[in-house]
Amino acid sequence: LPTMVETDRMSPSPSLLTAVLVLSVTAPCSAFIPTSTAPLLRPLLASAVSLRHARPAAPSRTAALSLSMSGGSQLAQLASMTVLAVDTGDLSVIEELSKTGHITDATTNPLFVSQAGLSGDPRYVAFVDEAVKYAKGKTKDVDEGVALAIDRLAVNLGKEILQFVKGYVSTEVDPRLSFDREESVARAKRIIKMYEEEGIDRSRILIKLAATWEGITAAEELEKEGITCNLTLVFGMTQAVACAQRGVRLISPFTGRIHDWHKADQGKEVWEPSEDMGVVECTRMFQYFKKHGHSTICMPASWRPSRGPGFELDEIRALAGSDRMTIPPNLLSMLDESSEPLERMLEPIEGAKQCEEEEWGGGRMGEKEFRFRLNQDGCTTEKMSQGIRAFVSDTEKLEEAIRSKF
């Protein structure tokens, strides 16, 4: 089944323009049985390096790494059990990596997309110009026009990516609507309408919403109308269970950010991968979904070295077998360079057996229980709030840039 995932863009420290949308692309799970080894030239972008390690730069096509098509690497082994996405905002990287057979999905974050749109690259500038022209032709009100142009930019980028992949594109609703269910639904429907006007069926689009109570209930309504959703900024079981019980297509738990919170909370620098709280929470979600028959896909994103520098692949290896993952190019390259056997850590049938939890809320958690559980979970409360603030800041910067064109 196709899906998409969230990337790790929550730190407010980089004072760079960012977009309101996070585009993520996925393709249906397929057999990964490459029979030959061939070098693949692909750009190594500073903008594609995770914000965990470096401040990303504007897209570039000059540098390159080789990503093999060998079936013996840990990358190939992981791809045989988990559908993989590359975390980058560069269309050339998405196009090239979609050809490897190991990487069938792609994700990008607001920072990457905004930099692309404002970098001066003619291809990306054309997306912005068309979005502004489209909005001006629909309304004379500047505020309405700016909001429409931002949504249209998401659609333009989504259309382009769909040329390279067979699966989904994910487009994010304005994060300032994270606590407004009705307006989130309206904006999601507007985005879908624009895609359909371009001849793109809604079955290929995932609407991305923050996993607040309002975002989750908005997703429930949209799913009933055939509009599939991805709930992002997931940091704990309360969000995961509420999403699953309401039929959300996919959730994006931020493994590394969960680890960050517990690392600071406990003052503990080094963790065994199996005890890393990001790994523990994602494993718990996976097992719960399998035991209780929830079809919601768990797609971990955001990675940290459990044991510290030099162990950058710890969390990825500890979650091998998860439904989906999104991984930045530098970590994909590290996986590709290793040929050691990779043990499958998560498996649906065994996962269901290992889960000892009964269904929360009798199978349908209500708002009061959701809010109380969320309040009791310091990691989720603090990290979700931090994430929304960062995404809102990014959106307002992009909005300012778009407004200057009206």
DSSP string covering 285-311, please?
Answer: HHHHHHHTT--PEE--B----TTSTT-
Q: Is-contact 306 318, C-beta < 8 A?
A: yes
Indicate which residue of 208, 263, 290, 383 is catalytic: 208
The SS3 assignment for 107 reads: strand
DSSP string covering 58-82, please?
Answer: ---SS-EEE----SSSHHHHHHTTS
Using CA atoms, how far apart are residues 350 and 249, in angstroms rounded to an integer?
22
Between the alpha carbon of residue 168 and those of residues 35, 126, 159, 326, 375, the distances in Å are: 27, 23, 11, 14, 33
Tokens at 321, concatenated: 């077998």
208 catalytically annotated: yes
Q: Is-contact 329 93, C-beta < 8 A?
A: yes
Using CA atoms, how far apart are residues 325 and 330, in angstroms rounded to an integer?
15
Sign of CA pseudo-dihedral 312, 59, 15, 156? negative
Q: Is-contact 89 109, C-beta < 8 A?
A: yes
Using CA atoms, how far apart are residues 137 and 115, in angstroms rounded to an integer?
26
Half-sphere exposure of 4 (CA within 13 A, CB side): 31
Q: How far is CA 399 from the centre of its chain?
A: 22
Q: Is-contact 55 14, C-beta < 8 A?
A: yes
Instruction: State which amino acid sits at residue 238.
Output: T
List the catalytic residues. Answer: 208
